[in-house]
Amino acid sequence: MVLTLYKLDASPPVRAVYMTIEILNIPDVQYVDTNLFKGEHLTEQFLQINPQHTIPTLKDDDFIVWDSHAICGYLATKYGKDDSFYPTDLKKRAIIEQRLHFDSGILFPTIRGTLEPILFFGNKNVKEEDVKKINSAYALIEKFFNSQWIAGNEITIADICCVSSISTLNEIIPIDRNLYPNLQAWLDRFSGEDFYKKGNEPGLLQLSELLKSKLAS
């Protein structure tokens, strides 16, 4: 069956799913634009699919799941040629889950708290308290690195979900390489990866340009 993904390209969680699709080389994905700025996620049709009215939302035949972390895990389990992208080893999986919860509990809420007032409610600057939250998130994640990737020596869904958020935060407050060298080195590693170029960079550019236009208007 063809997978259907309800999405908005600029969304960090959507970009995490895009990168996962690229890494797993999943064919025949049908994409449905869902414009949050026009309230398309609040239509009765969409609410019947996802009562939480969030994107991304994935439909696989009669199975529906939302939340990018859940979607990435589902796709990795269904389409992965092995378990390297989402290991089944108990300890490796626990580290990955911790990183995913850090994204959902710290990184993405920081993005949303910072950008929502600007993109939806007309604020013209990034609040000082949000700057502090972003730098606090950088300081925390800097301490996670004891290997090449965020949860070990191979790329996993933890890297994908976190980099969609970190690359977004970097557009708001650039990472200080001197303060957070491990974090910056990790982010730099993605620049040569095709899945990152295809799955993250176009939407990230859209969001960056939208943010600049809102702040300048």
Q: Alpha-carbon distance 123 to 133, whole Å?
A: 18
Q: Nearest CA to 149 among 205, 193, 207?
A: 193
Q: Kindly name the residue from 11, 68, 164, 167 that is annotated as catalytic.
A: 11
11 is catalytic: yes
Name all contacts of 50-58 with Cβ < 8 Å and 24+ positions apart. Answer: 50/6, 55/6, 55/7, 55/8, 55/11, 55/13, 55/14, 56/5, 56/6, 56/7, 56/11, 56/13, 56/14, 56/17, 57/5, 57/6, 58/3, 58/4, 58/5, 58/6, 58/17
Beta-sheet strands, E only, within the chain: 3-7, 29-33, 57-60, 63-66
Quick one: CA dihedral 152, 135, 200, 60, positive or negative?
Answer: positive
- Which residues have a catalytic role annotated? 11
